[in-house]
Amino acid sequence: MKAVILISGNGSNLQSIIDSADRIDLQISCVISNNKNAFGLKRAESSKIQTCIIDEELFNSKDIFDKNLIKIIDQYDVQLIILAGYMRILTPLFISHYFGKILNIHPSLLPKFPGLNTHQRVLNSSDTIHGASVHFVVNKLDSGPIIAQDYVKINHLDTVKSLSIKVLRKEHDLYPKIIHWYTEGRLKLIDNESATLDGQMI
Ligand code: GRF
C-alpha cells in the first residue's frame, strides 16, 4: 500500500516504519516535513525515499497551507497518510479530504493527556502507568478512535527524558504493527467516534 509520512522532527518513528516497510507491505511514496531542519528528512534520504519540505512561511493561512499539502500528497495517489511527529494541527479541510486514511501516534494513554508535554504532565499526576496510543485522526485534536496502546510503568526515578525514551521504544514496535493492520485492510474508520478491526468495533 502506498503512503506518505508527515514529520516535523527527529523521525525515530519514521525510521522504525522505514525499517519495517517491506514486512508490513508499505511503500513510502514521500516523506513530507513542515520543518526544513527535521532530522527525519536525512533518514528518508539515506533510505532513498523522496522528500518534500513545505515551508510554513510561504502560506499565510492554515487552510492555504493545507490546500497545498493536499496538492502535494494527491500527486502520489496514496491510500494512507501517516503522521509521525508532525507538529502542526491539521485543518478540517485536510481531515475530511482524507477521512479514514490518517493515522497518528501520540505519547500518552489517550484520552489522557492530549496535546503537548505529555511526559511532564503524567509526572505531575499520580498516574503509575503511561504509554503511547495509535489512533485514527478525526476533526478534534488527539481524539479519534483509539486503535491500540502500549504501556510503560512509571517509577519514582523517572524524568521527562527517561519516560520519553521508554515510551518511544514502545512506539517503535507499536506503530508499524498497527500500520500493518491498516495495509492488510483490517482497520476501518466508521465515524468520528468509532472504528472497526476485522469488522468488530474497537
Ligand atoms: C513521538 O513521541 C510521537 O508519539 C509524537 O511525536 C514524537 C515524535 O518522535 N507524535 P519522532 O520524531 O518519531 O522521534
Å from CA of 54 to ligand 1 middle: 19
2-109+132-151+168-201 placed in CATH 3.10.20.880: no
Contacts of 148 (CB under 8 A, 6+ apart): 133, 134, 174, 177, 178
Mean pLDDT within 146-165: 97
**Atom of ligand 1 lying closest to residue 107 CA:** 4
pTM of the prediction?
0.96
**Atom of ligand 1 lying closest to residue 164 CA:** 2
Nearest in space to 106 (alpha carbons), one of 193, 35, 52, 178: 178
**How much is the pLDDT for 41?**
98
Mean pLDDT within 124-146: 94
The secondary element (H helix, E strand) that includes residue 131 is strand 129-136
pLDDT in tens, 59-97: 889 999 999 999 999 999 999 999 999 999 999 999 999
Q: Does 143 have pLDDT greater than 90?
A: no
**How much is the pLDDT for 111?**
96
Domain ranges in the chain are 2-109+132-151+168-201
| Cα–Cα separations (whole angstroms), residue 134 to 39, 41, 62, 143 | 22, 22, 25, 10
**How much is the pLDDT for 130?**
98
Mean pLDDT within 20-41: 98
